[in-house]
Structure 1
Amino acid sequence: MDYLVYYGMTHNPFDKTAPKVIETVDYKELNVRLKYLTDVLGIGLVTGRPGAGKTVILREYARRLNTNQYRVVYLPLSTVSVSDFYNQLAVSIGIEPAFRKSAKFRQIQERILELYDVEHVTPVFILDEAQYLSGLIYNELVLLTNFGMDAENKCIVILAGLPQLTQMLQRPQFEAFRQRITVKYQVMGLEYVEVHDYVREKLKTAGILDEVINEDALKTIYSATGGSIRRLDQMITKCLIIGAQEETQQIGNEVVHKASAEVALG
């Protein structure tokens, strides 16, 4: 039986495409810092384990920005050269990159100035998987965000990556970059005390007000997923599918153990 039909759900609220973002502790804490960054501009550093929820929070932050005042550019980068980095950056803000690196640099800075000073639009660059960027690119970011002899900010740059990014930036060669970081935050994922409200609020958006998953099952799910929102969503979706197949009105540990085994195999 289809689990949406069985549980009377309008949609799967645990799917990554679900529109509702639950305001967890991480969501609230990071948004305070992002609000400050939006006000003063500059560089932000956001780290977290895979699945902790940093990309979801950043996507929601970008969605809420006024498109008449901000131009959001999302770049999921990996191991690119400085030249490739400049090419991607140039294209993302609507310019044809020049051949020489120095010319690309000048093009990008001039375009950022044009957006900010003339069009009154603040560029917001979100660079994902930043732990893979080479050290040379961090040096270029220091230069690229230097306006008015380093007295003015004209854009927002948010670097998102795994926790090792913070460790990498502690190296002496990144001292100049570290000094330019305006805000930083490490997304920790869900604490157990948040799980019940998270699941309840998610289910409520799909039209479910009853306790579909009992407390013991939630404890087991949390233990198996370790605070990862992505893994929690996957596990609960699998529990709902198995629960519907077995016509279980309220999901308990027996269903959770089966779901855990299937998720592990997947």
Structure 2
Amino acid sequence: MFDKHFGFSTLPFRKDIPPLALFPSRGHRELVAKLTQAIPRAEIICVTGDIGAGKSTAIRAAQQSLSAALYRFIYIPNPGMAARDLYHELLRELGVQPPWSTTSARRQLRDTFLALREDGRTPVVVLDEAHKLPPAVLDELRMLTNFNMDSTPVFALVLAGHPDLSRLLSRRGNEALAQRIGCRFHLTGMDWDEMKSYVAHHLKLAGVTRPVFTEDALRLLFQHSQGIPRRVNSLALQALEVAYLQEKELVDISILELVTADAS
């Protein structure tokens, strides 16, 4: 690997950065603030953004900022399943043996949520890739969130997905669920200045404070990544590998042109 070549103490642009060490872009800060305000109110929250924009990262940061003694997070990474299977997955995550039928599973999940809330813990259901939710499951979520005719919000629901999620929720038949959404946020990519700081931040976390990318290389990186963190990470890592193979101390624009040509 290129670690020793550039003097890194650890791999830069990693996925497993602790929440407190994450780069605080404006969009990231705003989303975390929205989540930490809406979750205690047990609201339905809709979070959209392009692939790799940092939705899951912000949700993880919000979770870390909330007391585990007061909130019980249940994360479902790919909820494109039948309603009964979703209920069964949620119940198993909560340590409850699920009943067979959908109706019984829904009732059991409601009772489990109520028991948690009465015990002083707010359940927080995070459905990632929510743009894949089938219409039948969206209708089940409407019924599940309708506790005591809306008078008692019992759990927070975070629906996270691609921009298609907003269009899905606006379709006829989903109005009742969409009207219950208390918080909406669309996460965009970083701007130019933020991306430059983001790259410097990751290099510093890896133990290097000197410039590693030339200005022209960073410009091309921004152009092709559009400031989306996952794209920045992928292209930057590829560029570092090429620079190492070419025995270069700096990642210049010729390296970025090579990497982005392969990625396009």
Q: 1:263: how far off?
A: 4.1
1:28 corresponds in structure 2 to 29
2:240 corresponds in structure 1 to 240
What is the SS of the residue equivalent to 1:44? strand
> Does the CA-based 8 Å contact 2:47-2:159 persist in structure 1?
yes
| Residues in 2 aligned to 1:214 and 1:51: alpha-carbon distance in whole angstroms | 24
| Residues in 1 aligned to 2:135 and 2:127: alpha-carbon distance in whole angstroms | 14
| Residues in 2 aligned to 1:77 and 1:155: alpha-carbon distance in whole angstroms | 20
CA RMSD for the aligned pairs?
1.5
2:206 corresponds in structure 1 to 206
| Residues in 1 aligned to 2:157 and 2:197: alpha-carbon distance in whole angstroms | 33
What is the SS of the residue equivalent to 1:148? helix
1:195 corresponds in structure 2 to 195
| Residues in 1 aligned to 2:94 and 2:44: alpha-carbon distance in whole angstroms | 18
1:15 corresponds in structure 2 to 14
Q: 1:147 to 1:78 in 2, by over 3 A?
A: closer
> Does the CA-based 8 Å contact 2:243-2:251 persist in structure 1?
yes
| Residues in 2 aligned to 1:75 and 1:129: alpha-carbon distance in whole angstroms | 9
Note the alpha carbon deviations across 1:122-142, whole angstroms, 9 max, x for none: 111100111111112122112
2:2 corresponds in structure 1 to 3
| Residues in 1 aligned to 2:262 and 2:149: alpha-carbon distance in whole angstroms | 57
Q: 1:178: how far off?
A: 1.1
Note the alpha carbon deviations across 1:22-41, whole angstroms, 9 max, x for none: 11121011112102112311
Q: 1:11: how far off?
A: 1.1
1:74 corresponds in structure 2 to 75
2:133 corresponds in structure 1 to 133
Comparing 209-218 with 17-26, greater Cα deviation is found at 17-26
What is the SS of the residue equivalent to 1:149? helix
Query: Counterpart of 1:142 in structure 2: which amino acid?
Result: R
| Residues in 1 aligned to 2:225 and 2:101: alpha-carbon distance in whole angstroms | 48
2:42 corresponds in structure 1 to 41
1:65 corresponds in structure 2 to 66
TM-score, normalised to structure 2, is 0.94
> Does the CA-based 8 Å contact 1:238-1:263 persist in structure 2?
no
| Residues in 2 aligned to 1:101 and 1:198: alpha-carbon distance in whole angstroms | 46
| Residues in 2 aligned to 1:35 and 1:195: alpha-carbon distance in whole angstroms | 25
Query: Counterpart of 2:74 in structure 1: which amino acid?
Result: V
- In structure 2, stretches of 5+ residues that fail to align are none
| Residues in 2 aligned to 1:243 and 1:147: alpha-carbon distance in whole angstroms | 58
Mapping for residues 161-200 of structure 1, pairs under 5 Å: 161-200=161-200
- In structure 1, stretches of 5+ residues that fail to align are none
Runs of 4+ with deviation above 3 angstroms: 261-264
1:256 corresponds in structure 2 to 256
1:114 corresponds in structure 2 to 115
| Residues in 2 aligned to 1:102 and 1:111: alpha-carbon distance in whole angstroms | 14
| Residues in 2 aligned to 1:211 and 1:222: alpha-carbon distance in whole angstroms | 16
| Residues in 1 aligned to 2:33 and 2:57: alpha-carbon distance in whole angstroms | 16
> Does the CA-based 8 Å contact 1:27-1:57 persist in structure 2?
yes
Q: 1:82: how far off?
A: 1.5
Mapping for residues 77-116 of structure 1, pairs under 5 Å: 77-116=78-117
| Residues in 1 aligned to 2:205 and 2:130: alpha-carbon distance in whole angstroms | 33
Query: Counterpart of 1:5 in structure 2: which amino acid?
Result: K
| Residues in 2 aligned to 1:103 and 1:39: alpha-carbon distance in whole angstroms | 28
> Does the CA-based 8 Å contact 1:75-1:127 persist in structure 2?
yes
> Does the CA-based 8 Å contact 2:147-2:153 persist in structure 1?
yes
Note the alpha carbon deviations across 1:161-181, whole angstroms, 9 max, x for none: 110110111123111111110
Query: Counterpart of 1:18 in structure 2: which amino acid?
Result: I
Q: Percent identity?
A: 30
